[in-house]
Structure 1
Amino acid sequence: MEELSKSQKARIAIRTFKIHADSLTLQGSYKPSGRTGEKLAESLRQLSPEIYGSMTDSRIVELKGLEYVIDRMPCGIENCTRLILTAQEDFHETSFTEILPLKRRRVSYAVSPHEMCFVITRGKSEIYDILTHITFLNSEAQKIYRQAFHSIEGMSPEWREFEKVVLAKRELVGGELDQAIWNLSIILGRTYRETRDTYEYFEKNRKEHKSNNGLFALIYQIGMRIRAEQESGQNELTIYFTPSLQEMIGHHKYASLWADSLKRTLYQSGLHERPLHVISANMHSVRNLLYGAGTLDDAGETVPEDIYEMVKNLRDRDEQVMRYGGKNGFVFLQDNTGSNIDVNIIDCSRIVPEKLHPSLKDCLSNCSDEPVIIVIDYAFGTQAFDIMDELLSPFTHNDKEIQFDIQSISIMGKAGVLAGKKGDIMLANAHVMEGTPHNYMVKNDLTPEDFDQDVAVFIGPMVTVLGTSLQNRDVLERFHSSSWKAIGLEMEGGHYQRAISGAIIQGHISSDMKIRYAYYASDNPLVSGQTLASGPMGEEGIVPTYMISKIILEKIFSAS
């Protein structure tokens, strides 16, 4: 029998993980340390996601992956033995504490010191995301337990000393802190410096954002949880999926509420008969480009000639820009439906051309049909299909069907690059859906010639992956080097295009409507040290983000 390649094995692992995750959701519950949970963990280990680094090495605990996961999980997750995933959000009038992770827009509630509830509003991608993080944490917890409690010697001396420090619950400094980190480094199988770096990373976020309980408490609690599981099956961590979650999957409950709220606002504002241009982007770049110069000018400050310098001058001035924009056609629509997707509505007829940055003045002065720009915040994975499908459907008001005049859809965001490096730009001419036979061609209105010559721009297929935690180097390398010639990977593009294609077939939008896909490279999963776990881009992301935003605006204004 022919031996499978590494990429083939990894693709099977991705498919296996997805099948197990889907079946567990329908099953109603599972235990990460039980037989079913181990199947999920085994498929994740076989996949060996780049973001989880050394997860497959039983000798060492993966620290960068731990940083990534804890930033995206609610504070106190390490104390829990019951985790409930539900679609029913009815905790507002309770005493339960709402918890928002540092780097993931998801809502969870602390029901008790040992029980948390995740409210799933963003579809299957959010479920996969949570399950991969839980599986990773449980796998690392088992490593810690094996290091701390030897089968023959019993509790290790390092763990005994470490336990004293944790239970003392006092701030450590100097040599005492060094000794505690040294003991922990032996337990984790990492160097002192590696352990110290992660300790300081957690401490910074703990003190500034209260987003975690510190590395010491985290390691101690997950290690002791596995010990309690070994002593009694009643102590095992259990994940529950409520019937409301099972009923929600495949339905657009939150997306429908979100789209109805947005379309109702447009209708009540009298903007429903105007040409509309939809942009999926962050909440700042389009707003800052259109209102940043006016904000600085009204404050009596000089507007830099370089548009990127202007952007840097707007840092920490969000409220000031929004106040100025509010007087000139800008409306911020904060989401209250549970979708976690805010919206900026910009009536371009009320923008003062003389107050625009010089590089944009000519664009708007040549614009004649008063477009309305709708900037929607980033969706998460499969949620992109739900919200775009609902947005492109007609709006019914007083039994009257109203069809909006959507003239362009632009998708901009960050993605992993396969052909270049961080900061480069990728233009999609197709989306390849990982793990499915669904592929979509894209007639992209953006070309490499639209961009500055000193920026590397790649054009080709983009792979739409199941999740940030389900990326494998061999699979990605195969997509890049094979006849697919994929240039990057992201999570939403294929889902957006599926909704757009469906809307064209249904006659909701014109087949001639302009479609634009542009991504800047936030990471390179094929290069060690450049994966998502290595941290955000910071100022490196300003130029590509604002360059894409500026070109999309120029396209909108030139077509109007």
Structure 2
Amino acid sequence: MQALTKAQKSRIAIRSFITTADALALRGYYKPSGKSGQTLADALKMISPEIYGTMNDPQMIELKGLEYVIDRLPRGIESCRHLILTAQDEFEHTAFEKICPLKRRRLSYRVGEYDMCFIISTGLSQVYDILTHVTFLNIEAQKIYRQMTMANGELTNEWQNLEHTVKNLDQLSTDEIHQAIWNLSILLGRTFHETKETYEYLENNRVHYQSNDNLFEIIYQIGKRMLAENDNRNKMLTVSFTPALKEMIGHNPYSEKWAKSIKDHIIAADLEKRPLHIISANLHSIRNLLYGYAAARDAGLDLDNNDLYQTIEMLRNKNQLIREYALKRGYFELSNIANIMIDVQFIDTTYFNEMAFHPLLNIQASHFSDNPPLIVVMDYAFGTQAFDIFDRLLEPYCIENNRTPLNVHSISIMGKAGILCGKKGDIMLATSHVFEGTPDNYIFTNDLLPTDFDGSISVFQGPIVTVYGTSLQNRDVLEKFKNTNWKAIGLEMEGGHYQRAISAAIIKSHISPDIKIRYAYYASDNPLISGQTLASGSMGKEGIKPTYMISKAIVEKIFKGNKK
């Protein structure tokens, strides 16, 4: 029998993780240190995501992966013994502490000293994301426990020193902090520099965003939990899934309410007959591109007419100025709709005849003649949520029992993705979406072409893989997608789900088969290159130009298509 390749083993591991996670959600609970949890841990170790670095090293605690996970889980998660995943937000008017992680749009509530409740409103991708991070944390917790205990069961000097540090942290001098970091580095199996770097990263987030505790406290609480768990099985970490969550799988009521709210606002504003252009993007680039130049001129600011991106850079801190200007000229917004954390902007271009645009933005007054378009910009979805919200949004609206399709002319998806054939900051144009782990794939004609960009940034065109999660990426699988006949150029989490909903809407005659479809991504990371993975940090200013270059291409296509 032919031996399996690394890529084949990894694909089996990914499928095993997802299948086990689905089964546990239906079962209703599991213990990460129990048999079911070990199945998830074994699968994750086999996948060995680049973002989790040294997770498979039994003597080294993975610090960059820890930073990544702490940024995406609620503050205090390290001390919790019971994690509850539910679909119902029953805590809005209670005294329970409401917590939102630094880098994930998800609500959690601290409902007890050792209990954390996650509100799942975005679908299965959110469940996979949480379980992946919890599995990683528990793998690291078991390593910490082995490092803090000796063969005879007694605690090491390093652990006792850490306990003293945590209890006296407010009184420690800088020199004593450095000594404590040195002691912690021994416990973690890392160098002093590596430990200090993570300490400073988490401390900066703690001070500026109150999004997490300090590194000493995090490691100490993880160790305390493991001591309690090994002393008393009743104190083992448990993850529970409520019946409400199980009922939501396959039918997301949040998305239905969200879509209805958007269509109700369009109808209330008497805009339902307008050409409708839907954009999934961030909530700054389209608005700033369309209104920023005119708002700045109106305020008397000096701008560079010869460099659009330099102008955008100058306007980065003028969001309030731009928003106030836009609100008087056809712009309005909806936020906190149905608790799914996807805010929406509406741009009625009727007012654009009276506005000035940057000379390098190809929008002219002749484009807004008889029937000016309505642009709806929605924030990024998360994984499978993309299908749920688009499936509902593209359904006909109903007035007095009459179902009428929305007048959708184009759908544009822009965002960030991992790249397989280039570097951070490059642009990718999808020609198809290929689902990881299933035979499903979707081919389409992308209305965006490399010639729509000025050549100052590399543009790649080809299939893009839709993955289960950022923390379930495997180098061997991705290299196979890149180097075999798939010739994939990148990976992300939503494209295939969006296109599945679009294809379904076309089949059901909810939208025209001639609709313009656009997919463009800028590369936030390259998971195949060390130092360019997601764990290496955000792009910062480097992301401005590709983001606005894609935004420019989309809005110019919209108005070129609307030209009489």
Common fold, TM-score beyond 0.5? yes
In structure 2, the CA distance between the partners of 1:152 and 1:396, relative to structure 1 (3 Å rule), is same
User: Where do 5+ consecutive residues of structure 1 fail to align?
Assistant: none
In structure 2, the CA distance between the partners of 1:119 and 1:2, relative to structure 1 (3 Å rule), is same
Q: Tell me, yes or no, if the aligned pair for 1:61 and 1:188 is still in contact at 8 Å.
A: yes
Mapping of residues 210-221 of structure 1, within 5 Å: 210-221=210-221
2-structure distance, mates of 1:545, 1:363 = 22
Q: Which residue of 2 aligns with 1:207?
A: 207
Q: Tell me, yes or no, if the aligned pair for 1:334 and 1:342 is still in contact at 8 Å.
A: yes
Shift of 1:156: 1.1
Shift of 1:52: 0.7
Q: Tell me, yes or no, if the aligned pair for 2:428 and 2:521 is still in contact at 8 Å.
A: yes
Q: Which residue of 1 aligns with 2:332?
A: 331
Q: Which residue of 1 aligns with 2:378?
A: 376
Q: Which residue of 2 aligns with 1:472?
A: 474
Shift of 1:220: 0.5
Is residue 375 of structure 2 the alignment partner of residue 408 of structure 1? no
Q: Which residue of 1 aligns with 2:223?
A: 223
2-structure distance, mates of 1:404, 1:153 = 67
TM-score by length of structure 1 reads: 0.99
Q: Tell me, yes or no, if the aligned pair for 1:353 and 1:361 is still in contact at 8 Å.
A: no
Q: Tell me, yes or no, if the aligned pair for 1:389 and 1:503 is still in contact at 8 Å.
A: yes
1:483 to 476, 482, 485: 485
Shift of 1:352: 4.2
> What letter corresponds to residue 471 of structure 1 in structure 2?
Q
Q: Tell me, yes or no, if the aligned pair for 1:303 and 1:357 is still in contact at 8 Å.
A: no
Q: Which residue of 2 aligns with 1:270?
A: 270
Write out per-residue CA displacement over residues 113-168 of structure 1, whole angstroms, 9 at most, x where no aligned residue: 21110000000000000000000111101111100112236211111111111122
Q: Report the secondary structure of 1:351's partner residue.
A: helix
Is residue 309 of structure 2 the alignment partner of residue 317 of structure 1? no
Q: Which residue of 1 aligns with 2:547?
A: 545
Q: Which residue of 2 aligns with 1:535?
A: 537
Q: Which residue of 2 aligns with 1:555?
A: 557
2-structure distance, mates of 1:440, 1:464 = 11
Q: Tell me, yes or no, if the aligned pair for 1:364 and 1:557 is still in contact at 8 Å.
A: no
Mapping of residues 82-93 of structure 1, within 5 Å: 82-93=82-93
Q: Tell me, yes or no, if the aligned pair for 2:51 and 2:533 is still in contact at 8 Å.
A: yes
2-structure distance, mates of 1:406, 1:235 = 54
Mapping of residues 391-470 of structure 1, within 5 Å: 391-470=393-472
Q: Tell me, yes or no, if the aligned pair for 2:10 and 2:474 is still in contact at 8 Å.
A: yes
The more displaced of 345-354 and 538-547 is: 345-354
Write out per-residue CA displacement over residues 354-401 of structure 1, whole angstroms, 9 at most, x where no aligned residue: 422122254453343301111010000000000010010011133222
In structure 2, the CA distance between the partners of 1:174 and 1:93, relative to structure 1 (3 Å rule), is closer
Write out per-residue CA displacement over residues 314-347 of structure 1, whole angstroms, 9 at most, x where no aligned residue: 2222222111001111111113311110011000
> What letter corresponds to residue 531 of structure 1 in structure 2?
T
Q: Which residue of 2 aligns with 1:73?
A: 73
> What letter corresponds to residue 70 of structure 1 in structure 2?
I
2-structure distance, mates of 1:31, 1:452 = 53
Query: What count of residue pairs does the alignment treat as equivalent?
Result: 560
What is the alpha-carbon root mean square deviation over aligned residues? 1.1
Q: Tell me, yes or no, if the aligned pair for 1:367 and 1:558 is still in contact at 8 Å.
A: no
Is residue 141 of structure 2 the alignment partner of residue 141 of structure 1? yes
Q: Which residue of 2 aligns with 1:517?
A: 519
2-structure distance, mates of 1:366, 1:39 = 58
TM-score by length of structure 2 reads: 0.98
Q: Which residue of 1 aligns with 2:174?
A: 174
Q: Report the secondary structure of 1:181's partner residue.
A: helix
Q: Tell me, yes or no, if the aligned pair for 1:278 and 1:375 is still in contact at 8 Å.
A: yes
Q: Tell me, yes or no, if the aligned pair for 2:352 and 2:368 is still in contact at 8 Å.
A: no
Shift of 1:403: 1.6
2-structure distance, mates of 1:198, 1:361 = 46
Q: Report the secondary structure of 2:55's partner residue.
A: helix
2-structure distance, mates of 1:201, 1:355 = 43
1-structure distance, mates of 2:50, 2:347 = 39
Is residue 294 of structure 2 the alignment partner of residue 284 of structure 1? no
Mapping of residues 343-382 of structure 1, within 5 Å: 343-360=344-361, 362-368=363-369, 369-382=371-384
Q: Report the secondary structure of 1:359's partner residue.
A: coil
Shift of 1:92: 1.3
Q: Report the secondary structure of 1:409's partner residue.
A: strand
Q: Which residue of 1 aligns with 2:52?
A: 52
Write out per-residue CA displacement over residues 391-446 of structure 1, whole angstroms, 9 at most, x where no aligned residue: 10011133222321000000000000001000111111010001111000021011
The more displaced of 483-492 and 221-230 is: 221-230
In structure 2, the CA distance between the partners of 1:336 and 1:168, relative to structure 1 (3 Å rule), is same
2-structure distance, mates of 1:352, 1:52 = 52
Q: Tell me, yes or no, if the aligned pair for 2:261 and 2:337 is still in contact at 8 Å.
A: no
The more displaced of 117-126 and 294-303 is: 294-303
2-structure distance, mates of 1:278, 1:520 = 19
Q: Tell me, yes or no, if the aligned pair for 1:28 and 1:240 is still in contact at 8 Å.
A: yes
> What letter corresponds to residue 296 of structure 2 in structure 1?
L
> What letter corresponds to residue 267 of structure 1 in structure 2?
I
In structure 2, the CA distance between the partners of 1:310 and 1:380, relative to structure 1 (3 Å rule), is same
In structure 2, the CA distance between the partners of 1:135 and 1:310, relative to structure 1 (3 Å rule), is same
Q: Report the secondary structure of 2:20's partner residue.
A: helix
Write out per-residue CA displacement over residues 459-486 of structure 1, whole angstroms, 9 at most, x where no aligned residue: 1000000000000111000100011000
Q: Report the secondary structure of 1:46's partner residue.
A: helix
Is residue 233 of structure 2 the alignment partner of residue 253 of structure 1? no
In structure 2, the CA distance between the partners of 1:94 and 1:354, relative to structure 1 (3 Å rule), is closer
> What letter corresponds to residue 133 of structure 1 in structure 2?
H
Deviating beyond 6 angstroms after TM superposition, the runs of 4 or more aligned structure 1 residues are none
The more displaced of 355-364 and 199-208 is: 355-364
Shift of 1:303: 2.3
Q: Which residue of 2 aligns with 1:107?
A: 107
Shift of 1:453: 1.6
> What letter corresponds to residue 446 of structure 1 in structure 2?
L
1-structure distance, mates of 2:145, 2:365 = 63
